Structure 1
Amino acid sequence: MYDHHDHDDDTSSSSLSHMNHMDHMDSSSMVFFTLNDLKIGRTMPFYFRERDPSISPQFFPKEEADSIPFSSKQLPYLLQLFSFQPESPQAKAMEHTLNQCENRPIKGETKFCANSLESMLDFAHKIFGLDSAFKILTTTHLGKYSRTSILQNYTVLEAPREIISAPRNVVVACHTMPYPYAIFYCHSLESENKVFEVKLAGQNGDRLSAVAICHMDTSQWNRHHASFHVLGIEPGSSHVCHFFPAENLVFVPTVSTYLD
């Protein structure tokens, strides 16, 4: 998850595998770049993981999800409910998720942690308007995909297609969070954001249609955000771009148009 504060049905075996994976993938997947890197022929190292339903927790039905406490104050009860030891990696991941969801939003940010598909869609309607239509974008693998690949060089194959939102440049990004069942950290920023669809080719033959977002105003971000170290910049001095993993979602109005 690309978090601006720090920067990042079966609840047993599949959830544990997912949470273990989330615990060690952050450092390798948080790769940032700038608009200048989105050029045909540009090669950069990235980590892309295809969504694997066998280890990816699913949304609970809304009534069931709402019946489970979602609060750091209830963490001891939740650990007992899901049979996790207090000092386990899963417990620490749950605590991190609860804290991130309870943190105050940064200036200009509207945030919400969705525990069901219905609550996620309700949040999107809140941002875009009850009568507004929107579509969902996500990074997808095209054809061949090597599950053994972790980090490899990807080359930009075509000119990225920029998505221009109208009447204002509003997007909703929803990031997966490590938890025994599906939790998405959804947020929208008032500052300008540019969204792109980018065709990428991996060095081992992978092909992707990747969704990238460029945050044009980083002045309100935590100065310890990993992107500032990666790009050698200070908060507010430059924009920051990143790709969305396959499990993350980006909501844009359907009135959006593409500019080549």
Structure 2
Amino acid sequence: MGMKYASFNILLLLLLVMYADGRVDSLSHMDQSVMVFFTLKDLEVGNSMSIYFRKKDSSTSPRFLPRDEAEAIPFSLTELPNLLRFFSFSEDSPQAKAMEATLRECETPAIKGEIKFCATSIGSMLDFAISIIGLNSDIKIFATEHHTKSSTLFQNYTILKEPDEVLASRMVACHTMPYPYAILYCHTQETENKVFKVSLGGDNGDRVTAVAVCHMDTSQWKHDHVSFRVLGIEPGMPGVCHFFPADNFILVPEY
């Protein structure tokens, strides 16, 4: 079994996940891939912003393994040498570096007020979501939808109508991680977060209904969190938001 996407996309995918969760200590340069952040006050009809949307490509995305098969494969940083042999990757390959980064991120302790879990299958992801949302609630999934087919990843988008807030007492966010098979980094936070569906129109005619999350308490984030640098705001400022790429999603209770 091999990784199906190029080394650039592997590293980009990991960086986007870590940027969103506050675990990148520095940024050597501002590239387009970090242009997913905005502030709550930016959510106004007619407002334009430059956004990078990574597109979902099912033909190149790693597949989910059946739960029993996934649980039979060790998912541990200490097992990395054995895993590289199992997947036939050399130690200095981009795939090996991406696997190491994913395993390391999954084993990094959660920040204060966060509960995190790396799911190796759909079943384990649902178990985690149910543990947070509760057994007595149906679960609704929200993900970014691209209504037009385009190869453009970065462009100016305009908010077309009043954003719809998704009201939910609990929320689980899941992010794809680079690995030979599908891994989801899922987490929830005790602090207040707001979820929105935002209708966007791109300069080249693209239409997107984007899922966005606004974090109302960033006091536990590192002072050099990339969002502060991208937005030029003070560390700890509330109302720091980011758009989700199409292969990430939000789970909330359905009332």
- Regarding TM over 0.5, the answer is yes
Aligned position for 2:27: none
C-alpha displacement at 1:88, in angstroms?
1.2
Alpha-carbon RMSD across the aligned residues, in angstroms, is 1.4
Partner of 1:29: 33
The SS at the match of 2:201 is strand
Q: Is 1:253–2:253 an aligned residue pair?
A: yes
- CA–CA separation in structure 2 for the residues paired with 1:194 and 1:188: 12
State the 1:192 CA deviation.
0.2
* Matched residue type, 2:178: P
**1:216-246 superposed Cα distances (whole Å, 9 cap, x missing partner):** 0001112221001112233323321000000
Whether the 8 Å CA contact 1:19–1:178 is kept in 2: the answer is no
Query: Relative to 1, partners in 2 of residues 1:18 and 1:164: Cα closer, same or farther, differing over 3 Å?
Result: farther
Amino acid at match of 2:117: F
Matched, 1:160 2:163: yes
Q: CA 1:45–1:226 in 2, change beyond 3 Å: closer, same or farther?
A: same
Worse overlay, 229-238 or 186-195:
229-238
Could you tell me the percent identity over the aligned residues? 56
Deviations 1:126-149 (A, max 9, x none): 00112221100000111x2212x1
Q: Map 1:31-180; keep pairs closer than 5 Å.
A: 31-142=36-147, 144-147=148-151, 149-165=152-168, 168=169, 170-180=170-180
Cα 1:129–1:185, aligned 2, differ >3 Å: closer, same or farther?
same
Asked if the contact 1:23–1:93 (Cα under 8 Å) also holds between the matched residues in 2, the reply is yes
Per-residue deviation, residues 155-197 of structure 1 (Å, max 9, x unmatched): 11110001111xx3x2100000011100000000000000000
Q: 1:162 to 1:18 in 2, by over 3 A?
A: farther
- 1:6 corresponding residue in structure 2: none
Q: In the alignment, which residue of structure 1 is the partner of 2:242? A: 242
Whether the aligned pair in 1 keeps the contact of 2:4 and 2:62 (CA below 8 Å) is: no
Query: Any unmatched runs of 5+ in structure 2?
Result: 16-30
Long gaps (5+) in structure 1: 1-10, 256-260
Question: Per-residue deviation at 1:204?
Answer: 1.0
SS in 2 for 1:125: helix
Match of 1:228 in 2: 228
TM-score by length of 1: 0.88
